Structure formats: structure tokens, C-alpha cells
Amino acid sequence: MNQVRHVPVMLQRCLDLLAPALTEPGAVVVDCTLGLGGHSEALLAAFPDVRLVALDRDQEALRLSGERLAPYADRATLVHAVYDELPEVLDRLGTPRVQGVLFDLGVSSMQLDEADRGFAYAQDSPLDMRMDQTAGVSAAEVLNTYPPGELVRILRAYGEEKQARRIVSAVVKEREKEPFTRSARLVELIRDALPQAAKRTGGNPAKRTFQALRIEVNGELAVLERSIPAAVGRLAVGGRIAVLSYHSLEDRLVKQVLAAGAATTAPPGLPVVPERYQPRLKLLTRGAELPTEEEVAENRRAAPARLRGAQRIREDAL
């Protein structure tokens, strides 16, 4: 596994967003999605006094990034955990509040490139897609056992796939003959099931179905829905959060949580807004920031990235 090709997305912009909160003595930054450690390594290098806590549910990612971050071992704590477990992890470490939190919600390059994981539609592999291969159901089990109506819902909700019903009826017919085990058969089925017009736009026609299965297998949106409020809740006043998402469903969730934190909760018409209704967050990005054309040219996986940031400006009201 060659770590050199892993290029962290929007790296400098993430560092710039978090920087003002990470210069104070004893600052702690949490990388909620360690992956191959590119963002974490840059954070440790850029802020020589910062302490890093990094989470990943993938044991192999933890092993590889552990090697990469070995020079900083005295300042880095790597934890096998899903990112919605952040509050429990911080409690165990005796660190109730932190100064920075980073989420990079993309599937790691390693998972896409390792043939036996089943994330990529471009190569034939077992239909697994679990980020933590020690737990949960695989993509094959989802395809082979879920009722048709549930599969349609997943493809529509998580893949924004307009042809969900057509794809699912082909899947159901095929799985009765023989259960699905490999990705190439699913890709071929999707190509055959789609009308000609649907195949002409938007890259590989299997992309949306694979995204939907991955989100379902890993419970990604449910985890994210718990994680962003939990992370905001653990920011010290002055602390900052930066979130990179890669599809509209994730970005919408992040936007809602940050916008709610940046809004006043006062009833309308109050001449003066009492402290307890004041916003807890200040937004640091206007809408979602996009990668530059140069970055996309260098790293095509950056193309769909959307970055949002916010700063904690006051404590919760009691």
C-alpha cells in the first residue's frame, strides 16, 4: 500500500480555518476521520504544541496512519472508534473540551483502492463495503436480503437514484437465481437495467447505487447526524470545527447543524435578545467552499468536496 499517492483534500484551507484556535498552549485537535493520516500529519507539523486525538473505525487505516504519524507519537492518540463516539473517547482521555475538530467524510483512498473491500465500481471485488470489517452487514447481504421496497428507499434516499425501482426489480429477479457476491455483476446489471438516456450523463451509471449501499452498510448519515452536534458540544469557546463532505446529503446535514447553532433562538419581537438565546456558533464559511480548479486537476477525488466551518462563540445556556 503506497501512502504517497494519498493527497488530503483542501488541506491548506482546513489548516487555515482551524489555525486561530490551535495556537493556544495545550490546544487539542480531533481528527474524527483519520484515514491515512494526511490531515493529521499536517496538523501536527503545522502546530508544534498541539495534541491530536484521531478516530477511525477501520483497523487497517489506524495501523497505516500509526506508522505515518510515528514521529509525532508523543502528541498523537489514535483510537479505534466511529466518530459519533467522540464524547465517550474524550471522556476516557479526560479531555472534556477541545479547540479544533476536523471531519473529512470522504471514503478514504485506501478503501477505494484496496480491491477486496468492494467500494469501487471500477474493479471487480467482493461486495463488502464495511469500513469496519469486524462488524455489521455487508453490501452483498443488503442486496440479497432486504425487501424490494426498502432497497428502493435506500437507492432513492442515499443515492438520489431516479431509476431506483428499475434497478431494484432487476436485482430482485437476479438474486432469486443466484445471490450477489461480487461488484462486477452488480455494475453489469445496472448498465443493462438503465434506459439509454440515463447512461449518457453523470459518469459511471453504477456510482449512485454504490454510494447508497455504502451509506446504508456503514450507517453513515445516522452517524453523522449524531456526530456534528456532539462535536460542536465539545468545542471550547473560541474552538473551531471544519467539515469536508462529498455529497449533497452529507452537506445538507452539516449545513443544518451549523446554521442552527449560528441562529438566535429568541422568540420574535424581543427588543433585546437575552444571553440564553444568543447564537453559540459563528459561521466561518459563506455557504460551502469548493476546491480550486488546480486542486481538482491534481486530485480528481477532491472534485465533489464541500467545506464548511464554524467557531464556538459562547457556552450553552443553562
Residue tagged 483512498 (cell numbers): 109
pLDDT of residue 109: 45
Condensed to tens digits (0 to 9), the pLDDT of residues 172-222 reads 999 999 999 999 999 999 999 988 766 666 677 888 899 899 889 888 888
**Cα–Cα distance for residue pair 290/47, rounded to 1 Å:** 25
Residue 1 has a pLDDT of 37
Weakly modelled stretches of the chain, pLDDT under 50: 1-5, 109-113, 115, 117
pLDDT of residue 182: 92
Q: Which pLDDT does position 4 carry in this prediction?
A: 43
CB 226 within 8 Å of CB 84: yes
71: CB partners within 8 A, 6+ apart: none
Is the CB of residue 90 less than 8 Å from the CB of residue 115? no
Q: Look up the pTM and report it.
A: 0.80
